[in-house]
């Protein structure tokens, strides 16, 4: 792993796509001025997070949104994890998809959200992603600036098996564009990001939109980066913010050397299945 500078774009996502894309361009340009190596946008950065509007805003890989991401990565000379947007596949299916690009604008990977957010919380939060979206079927692990990086989207964060699978495949950094809400956010957002970091001895990053008063679904904000010891390196509140932090490979090496949790697993008693299915992956 190399030492890298990470930029987390906690942008405010409003009701208008044109305004959201303009905000994204502005913040991506700010990340370039800060000389970031890896830049991350939030979940559903171009449009409101609303199940009845995903089809309205869905685009293919040849659309305006991916074009913006390509241009920003090229102009900024960084690796870009493009949050997520509603992606329309050739067969008409819609996915919550995160495109990952290199500094030439080439798409390195696409992570389609594996676990769909179908919940009915007594505190008043109700959502049914499966009414509009299809589940992704493959994990995403990619080398970004010399850092092996696993990608998840929001609800994927709640599934420790997925994070462990990525860690066993070599991940040093886990990135989750997400949009937790004012009920789940205070209870679980930081807790889960720190847990995934400690469980797997990796850096973890969660990038949320900033809340917008004109939207029905309110994002929690509080984007953050956590180191492999579970320490919060940087965090936002609920305002729009560009967060910058360095990921130090010496910290990862020290934690894994002094407390070798991954080596002490009892694979004679338990194991995460399915890793060998993905080309080039091992246990």
Is 254 assigned a catalytic role? Answer: no
- Quick one: pLDDT at residue 217? 92
Sequence-ordered list of residues with C-beta below 8 angstroms from that of 229, at least 6 positions apart, any chain: 197, 198, 251, 255
- Quick one: pLDDT at residue 279? 45
Q: Is residue 21 within 8 Å of 65, Cβ to Cβ?
A: yes
Active site residue: 113, 172, 190, 240, which one?
113
pLDDT in tens, 130-152: 999 999 999 999 999 999 999 99
Per-residue pLDDT, averaged over 13-18, amounts to: 96
The CATH superfamily label for domain 4-277 reads Carbon-nitrogen hydrolase (3.60.110.10)
Q: What percent of the chain has pLDDT over 90?
A: 90
Using the predicted structure, report yes or no on whether residue 275 has a pLDDT greater than 80: no
Per-residue pLDDT, averaged over 260-265, amounts to: 96
Is 74 assigned a catalytic role? Answer: no
- Quick one: pLDDT at residue 282? 47
Active site residue: 129, 154, 172, 240, which one?
154
Confidence of residue 274 (pLDDT cuts 50, 70, 90): low
Is 113 assigned a catalytic role? Answer: yes
pLDDT in tens, 53-84: 899 999 999 999 999 999 999 999 999 999 99
Active site residue: 9, 43, 59, 240, which one?
43
- Quick one: pLDDT at residue 271? 85
Using the predicted structure, report yes or no on whether residue 272 has a pLDDT greater than 90: no
Across the chain, mean pLDDT equals 95
Quote the strand ranges of 102-253, DSSP E: 107-112, 118-120, 126-128, 140-144, 147-151, 173-177, 203-207, 224-226, 232-235, 241-247
Q: How far apart are CA 60 and CA 57, in angstroms?
A: 10
The residues spanned by each domain of the chain are 4-277
pLDDT in tens, 172-191: 999 999 999 999 999 999 99
């Amino acid at each position: 792993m190399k030492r890298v500078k990470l930029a987390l774009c906690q942008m405010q996502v409003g009701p208008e796509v044109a305004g959201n894309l303009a905000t994204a361009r502005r913040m991506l340009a700010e990340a370039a001025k800060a000389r970031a190596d890896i830049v991350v946008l939030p979940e559903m950065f171009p449009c409101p997070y609303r199940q009845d509007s995903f089809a309205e805003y869905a685009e293919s890989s040849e659309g305006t949104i991916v074009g913006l991401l390509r241009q920003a990565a090229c102009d900024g000379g960084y690796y870009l994890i493009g949050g997520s947007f509603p992606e329309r596949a050739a067969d008409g299916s819609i996915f919550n998809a995160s495109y990952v690009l290199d500094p030439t604008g080439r798409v390195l990977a696409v992570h389609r959200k594996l676990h769909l957010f179908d919940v009915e919380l007594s505190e008043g939060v109700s959502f049914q992603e499966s009414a509009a979206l299809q589940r992704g079927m493959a994990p995403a692990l990619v080398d970004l600036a010399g850092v092996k990086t696993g990608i998840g989207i929001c609800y994927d964060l709640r599934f420790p098996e997925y994070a462990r699978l990525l860690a066993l495949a070599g991940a040093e950094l886990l990135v989750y564009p997400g949009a937790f809400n004012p009920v789940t956010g205070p209870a679980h957002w930081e807790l889960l990001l720190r847990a995934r970091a400690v469980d797997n001895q990796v850096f973890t990053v969660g990038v949320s939109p900033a809340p917008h008063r004109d939207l029905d679904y309110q994002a929690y904000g509080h984007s953050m980066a956590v180191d492999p010891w579970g320490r919060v390196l940087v965090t936002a509140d609920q305002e729009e913010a560009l967060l910058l932090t360095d990921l130090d490979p010496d910290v990862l090496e020290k934690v894994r050397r002094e407390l070798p949790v991954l080596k002490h697993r009892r694979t004679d008693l338990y194991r995460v299945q399915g890793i060998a299915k993905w080309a080039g992956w091992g246990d």
